[in-house]
Amino acid sequence: MTSSAINAGPSADMAGGASGAIPGHVAIIMDGNGRWAAARGLPRSMGHRKGVDAVREAVEAAAENGIGYLTLFAFSSENWNRHPSEVRDLMGLLRMYLKSEIKALDKEDIRLRVIGRRDNLADDINRMIDEAEALTHDNTRMTLVIALSYGGRGEIVDAARAIATAVVEGRESLENITEERFASFLSTHDIPDPDLIIRTSGEQRISNFLLWQTAYAELLFLDVLWPDFGEDHFTHALQWFAGRERRFGTRP
């Protein structure tokens, strides 16, 4: 397994020092399902199905390592432009996951949160999400955040529109709009910014994922396709993060 990494900006010291630190929030761009299937002469749908197993492993590894928040980039706003048959397969897998995994998440004291523009989702999927979020709402061991029909630019535009509306209606003043206040209008307003972002498949870009929230995250790019991602890769990522010196723009 090989890896490469770049910094998203000035780093910062967390919890008194980087060495040995555990990230409070890990976010993963799950990439490579299609390439995994193509390399085996299988349809893309098989890669997505195998990717669900990797999701399960990542959730288990995060919870076992004491991660407070795990965010998975499951379906981007741009993914709606994929072939209709692939979108149907992905939505079918989402239904399957919501039916088969939510009780297990609840049993493990894991809370589910879904972020993204849900107006494009089918009514039954939205209903299942609402039910899953309600069922797991009071769980405290870890929060699993699924970014679904999500795009970072769209999220920022939605927040800007909401603030502008509040100003026009007199519920907000321009003088009170700070970075912190703006962040409170984002879909992640109740979620800490990620400390570590992992992308699989060897691609080195963040693809419109958590653009605002990634300002000071550490970025790790792994040369492993998502269906092959397992506990050992997650452990490697945590060890790599523990060796980072994070200063958030302060002097060494």
- Catalytic residue list contains 89: no
Q: What three-state secondary structure class fits 66?
A: coil
Tokens for 237? 């990522």
199 marked ligand binding residue: yes
- Catalytic residue list contains 79: yes
Q: Which of 112, 106, 104 is nearest to 129 (CA)?
A: 112
Rounding to the nearest 10 degrees, give the CA dihedral for residues 75, 80, 86, 91: 60
205 marked ligand binding residue: yes
206 marked ligand binding residue: yes
In 128-184, where do the E strands start and end?
142-150
240 marked ligand binding residue: no
Name the catalytic one among 13, 65, 79, 106. 79
78 marked ligand binding residue: yes
Q: Which of 132, 142, 133, 118 is nearest to 60 (CA)?
A: 142
Rounded CA gap, 213 and 209, in Å? 9
35 marked ligand binding residue: yes
218 marked ligand binding residue: yes
33 marked ligand binding residue: yes
* Distances from the Cα of 78 to the Cα of 83, 193, 228, angstroms: 12, 23, 24
In the chain, where do the E strands start and end?
3-7, 25-29, 69-76, 110-115, 142-150, 196-199, 218-222
Rounded CA gap, 212 and 159, in Å? 11
223 marked ligand binding residue: no
44 marked ligand binding residue: yes
β-partners of residue 148 are 75
Catalytic residues: 31, 79
Binding residues: 31-36, 44, 48, 76-78, 80, 82, 199, 205-207, 218
Binding site residue list for substrate: 32-36, 44, 48, 76-78, 80, 82, 199, 205-207
Task: Return binding residues for Mg(2+).
Answer: 31, 218
